[in-house]
Amino acid sequence: MKYFRLLIGIGVLGLGACHRNLPTASTPATPATPKPVTPIPTTSPPSINTTTPLASPNPLIPNVTPLPAPAIIVPPLPARVGDYQVIDELKQPQFMAQSRDILKAGSLPNTKVKFNAIDLLVVLKSTRKYFRNTLDSDPDLQREGILGTQGVKVTDILKTLDFMVLTIQQDLKAKRPIRLQDPKFLNSNFRTIQWTAFNPTATDEKRVRMTKYAVFTHRGSRTPTKEFNAGLYALKSGTDIDGIRLKYTKQDVLKNIYEPEGQEFGTVEPLAYLDREGLESALMQGTVLIKFPDGKSAFFNVDRNNNIPYIKGLAPTEQKRYWYFKPVTAIKGFGQTIETKISLKPGVTFAGDVLNIGLGRIVVTENSLDGKPQLRMGIIADTGGAFLPNLHQLDFLAGVFDNKDDFAAYTRKLPEYTKAYILVKR
């Protein structure tokens, strides 16, 4: 966008020119023949009354009231307009963002990048597989997001994933140092785009906020009990899945509409039952590990929801969004269906804004420890209602924890804000 600035120099110059044309006093010359001279009054000349009409010397011209001197009006500069339209979960426009204030060319410091190569390889391969299998059917994958303003195409993201998978595989096979941990290798082979956080409600913080999430272990039951009465349900194939899932809120489900006494009994499949705290944790984190009374345990992951958006600032218990689950063998992230969801690993996975930042974007975070930079690499392979839209935050998958105290003790060592870079293959 171009910006126009009003120049008022001409007005100032005009005022100066008026002052230069004012008459100056002079001493009269002595006449050849002296004549009596009437003294010049020393009093100031009368001021002009701008509100009283002046008498016109020509009777055909009416008396005229002089106009006041025009004021110099400086209109305000136009509001800064962004070049990228930020959308929400329902693909509705929310606000404009100025990409040059958010993304710019950068360079990684000369410090080894930390990550577990095998875990990162799992998530890279799973993300690449999701792109390959669903690129034509999932419009979210076709979005370039704000990186598109920097000339980054979806094909560049695929090239980045392919190159990283191949590089790690080669290094593991050759049993040599992982080249993706070498900042010189990264700076040579990737565009390093520094990401400055943009939050329209808190514009002072330029670092990316790094929250943390986890999979929690909860006690539960396969049948409802007095203690465990909040159900996890799976949608049944062969039924009107959309007709069921889009019809009810979380509060409706908690009224036992899917239990024998409810009006929708038999339309979904009960998987497990938790207490209310366990249910809210499962809905918030997306994956839960349930320990059953017989000593067995199982992972359950969100499958599809009722299309009710997550409302920021509203208490979790008041949210109307409800997720239907399916049993899984690993932590799962983004995906259209449970069968295609991306497999996640803690320590190398971020949840983020997959519509405006983008799925599969490689992120390197930088923090300082004892004055030395510390770098960590991960991939955006998950999302959530709190991230749509969100250009200022990432959610770090910390691990699987038995309780919130263990989780808090672990994440207390991690930074709350971070400098962030996005890597794109050259």
Using DSSP, state whether 18 is helix, strand or coil.
Answer: helix
pLDDT above 90 for 23: no
Per-residue pLDDT at 269: 97
pLDDT above 90 for 81: no
**Res. 338 pLDDT band, cuts 50 70 90:** confident
The stretch 101-121 carries a mean pLDDT of 97
Give the CA diameter of the chain. Answer: 135
Per-residue pLDDT at 37: 45
Assigned token pair, 189:
């082979």
Q: Is the omega angle on the peptide bond into residue 260 within 30 degrees of 0, that is, cis?
A: no
Residue that is written with structure tokens 């409802």 in the block: 224
Count of helix runs (H) and strand runs (E) in the chain: 9, 16
The residues near 402 (Cβ < 8 Å, ≥ 6 apart) are: 216, 217
CA neighbor of 244 nearest in space, from 226, 220, 269, 225:
269
Per-residue pLDDT at 3: 36
Poorest-pLDDT segment among 18-22, 161-165, 233-237: 18-22
CA neighbor of 359 nearest in space, from 82, 135, 184, 191:
135
Poorest-pLDDT segment among 1-10, 37-46, 309-318, 392-401: 1-10
Question: Tens of pLDDT along 48-70?
Answer: 444 445 444 444 545 555 555 55
Strand partners, 299: 289, 328
Per-residue pLDDT at 299: 96
Per-residue pLDDT at 73: 56
Q: Which helix (DSSP H) or strand (DSSP E) does residue 215 occupy?
A: strand 208-219
DSSP 94-162: EEEE-HHHHEEE----SSPEE--HHHHHHHHHHHHHHHHHHTTT-GGGG--GGGGGGT--HHHHHHHHH
The stretch 92-96 carries a mean pLDDT of 95
Per-residue pLDDT at 47: 46
Query: Do the beta carbons of residue 373 and residue 183 sit within 8 Å?
Result: no
CA neighbor of 344 nearest in space, from 353, 357, 354, 335:
335
CA dist 112 and 180 (Å) reads 9
Per-residue pLDDT at 134: 95
Using DSSP, state whether 253 is helix, strand or coil.
Answer: helix
How far CA 387 is from CA of 91, 121, 276, in Å, comes to: 13, 25, 24
pTM of the model: 0.75
How many other C-beta atoms are found inside a 10 Å radius of the C-beta of residue 126? 22
CA neighbor of 123 nearest in space, from 165, 185, 170:
165
* Alpha helix (H) residue ranges in 175-302: 183-189, 241-245, 250-253, 276-285
**Res. 72 pLDDT band, cuts 50 70 90:** low
CA dist 129 and 122 (Å) reads 11
